[in-house]
Amino acid sequence: MNISSKFESFVQNFNEKFFGFWERFAKEYPALIWLIVIILPYIEALLPFLPLIVIVGFNIQILTPLFGPILSPIFAVLLSAIGSFLGTFTVFLFIRGTFGLRLRQKIENNPKVLSIVRWLENRSSLFIILVMSNPYTPGSLFNYAMSITKIDIKRYFKITFISKTICIFWLAILGVIFQVQENVFSILWVILVYCIVYLIFYGYNKIKHKRKFFLGGEKTMSKKTIADVKLTGKTTLIRVDFNVPMKDGQITDDNRIVQALPTIQYAIKEGAKVVLFSHLGRIKEEADKAKNSLAPVAKRLSELLNQEVKFIPQTRGKELEDAIKGLKNGEVLMFENTRFEDLDGKKESKNDSELGKYWASLGEIFVNDAFGTAHREHASNVGIASNIETTVAGFLMEKEIKFIGEAVENPKRPFVAILGGAKVSDKISVIENLLNKADKIIITGAMAYTFLKAKGLPVGISKVEDDYVDFAKAMLEKAQGKLILPVDHVAAKELSAEAEAKVFDADAMPEDYMGLDIGPKTIELFKNELASAKTVVWNGPAGVFEIEKFSIGTKAICEIIANLSDAITIIGGGDSAAAAISLGYEDKFTHISTGGGASLEYLEGKELPGIAIIEDKCCDDCDCHK
């Protein structure tokens, strides 16, 4: 007997014994079979002990003695889907409930889960369903991550039910194709198919990565801008970011309005009928409308443009429609705060399809120039773009894409990133992404104390995120010297302008003091690290810059960066931008971003919905111009 015959004989004997055992078991304990079939996928949803693909194949096999080879896959699909869905929903209810608080805190301390959380929160339901339908997706990891996102229970239920059903359905189809109900070893073919697919995908990504490395970056298509389309006589909808600070109905800083002027002036010059709109503040109740009207913004814009800006105090309706129809070439109209629509079911913020379609119907061309909301999928950006023929970027959006995108993806080196601010948890994905791209990462601000504690240094009563000390320790090990931490601090016993400030070395912080700024030795250290930098991206202040005595470190960083020769210098919005502007360094940087949250997510390497909707412009060496 040759080897092939011996193997066939072995398989035949094994199958007879396997199916014989389960046939006897099914006759004796039919209820237990049902329980096993449900409990296995239920456990898989809680703990990643076996791939779901193996569990479904096994369920088909053990149900065959009960239902035969035709019906067993159907029952396996139904029962496995029920078990997997119940397990997933158990995780959700447990983590969201008060009894799961301790476990939730532990999960939130897991960098991998947190990376998935940030990624999930900015993806559509359809995209998440497609990902979770894959049987090799780490199911339990996604279950825990989904449970600590901001995704509400209805959406979670829909995503979970559909994805689990699709996943198990396709597994059953594969099971039937390879006849796992007749041959125990056939499940190996099912697994092999998925392994081959993953090897192809893995190989493709490896080749793609090497191509990027050797060619100095991927050949990506840039985005179309307002300069790429004909505007004359066209009603041009421009989404701007006029979310300016207001006090008693007066604008206290018009920087965002000024930044949008090049796009608006170009549209006027080209003879467009210009329709502007923006959000302003948060609208939670009717009383919020009065203090968040765009009327003062329209007035200030009119002064800056030196021409009338017609203001319509509505977000929809006949008055708005008639005013837009009456526009002449080169005229400008602004309608009311888009977030007024949030009073009725958060139609703007939740990208209501009807609202997006309505706003799109008001114009012929859509220009997205609001980088500050590019990380959000709103009716006023994604909703309009989905329902209009032409979507392009404004000049401000183009500038943001150019400077922040190119700085991270194809920087002039050495590339130094400066990350400050209060929380490590806010910048987990940024740190992880930049560790692979930057030559050095300077950690400053309150978040530095979590890293210092991870190194075993005394931090007194400084602000520390204890849940992220392990993460900081892991990043320090992974960085291999890339992370630069403060070596001394300006500290006080309390956070107040009257508190007495003292300087302490990093290894000598008293127990009753809190670090509120970096010290002179750290300033010198940072200066040396930045001296040769050709690209600098800064996000987050070095100390409590609002209080004069604790603003020295932030001022020093501004001065150091401002005096760098032949370097691209970028501030990634937020508090660091506010600090630079308030301290008078606005004109000393190559670019100051207008979007805090958006620039942070861009630094994480995410695709932003407000940028993804903009049409691609062909590269110079492709055939699309011919």
Dihedral of CA 461/467/472/477: which sign?
Answer: positive
Residue showing tokens 């959006």: 397
Dihedral of CA 461/467/468/473: which sign?
Answer: positive
Identify the H or E element spanning 417. Answer: strand 415-419
Task: Report the half-sphere exposure of 441 (CA within 13 A, side-chain side).
Answer: 28
Identify the H or E element spanning 39. Answer: helix 30-46
Nearest to 121 by CA among 149, 157, 156: 149
Question: For the chain, what is the total number of helices (H) and then of strands (E)?
Answer: 25, 19
Alpha-carbon distance 205 to 332, whole Å?
A: 47
| 141 neighbors 113 (Cβ within 8 angstroms) | yes
Can you say whether residue 345 is alpha, beta or left, with left for phi > 0 and alpha for psi between -120 and 50 degrees? left
Residue 510 three-state SS: coil
| 268 neighbors 332 (Cβ within 8 angstroms) | yes
- In the chain, how long is the greatest CA-to-CA distance? 97
Dihedral of CA 143/145/151/153: which sign?
Answer: positive
Catalytic residue chosen out of the listed positions 96, 118, 155, 423: 423
Residue 578 three-state SS: helix
Annotated active-site residue 574? The verdict is yes
Catalytic residue chosen out of the listed positions 271, 281, 597, 605: 597
Task: Give 289-350 as a DSSP string.
Answer: HHHT-SHHHHHHHHHHHTS-EEEES-SSSHHHHHHHHTPPTT-EEEE--GGGGGGTT-TTTT
SS (H, E, C) 217-231: CCCCCEECEHHHCCC
Alpha-carbon distance 198 to 135, whole Å?
A: 12
136-139 long-range contacts, CB within 8 A, separation 24+: 136/51, 136/53, 136/194, 136/198, 138/48, 139/44, 139/45, 139/48, 139/52, 139/84, 139/88
Task: Report the half-sphere exposure of 20 (CA within 13 A, side-chain side).
Answer: 6
Alpha-carbon distance 398 to 372, whole Å?
A: 13
Identify the H or E element spanning 430. Answer: helix 428-435
Annotated active-site residue 316? The verdict is no
Annotated active-site residue 423? The verdict is yes
| 194 neighbors 56 (Cβ within 8 angstroms) | no
Q: Residue 290: CB partners within 8 Å, gap ≥ 6?
A: none
Catalytic residue chosen out of the listed positions 57, 372, 420, 574: 574
CA angle, 285 then 426 then 378, to 5°: 40
Terminal alpha carbon distance of the chain: 68
Annotated active-site residue 87? The verdict is no
Alpha-carbon distance 141 to 49, whole Å?
A: 12
Nearest to 555 by CA among 520, 606, 595: 520
Can you read off the two tokens belonging to residue 40? 């296995």
Identify the H or E element spanning 169. Answer: helix 153-177
Return the C-alpha torsion angle 150, 153, 158, 162, nearest 10. Answer: 80
Catalytic residue chosen out of the listed positions 256, 273, 347, 427: 256
Active site residues: 256, 423, 574, 597
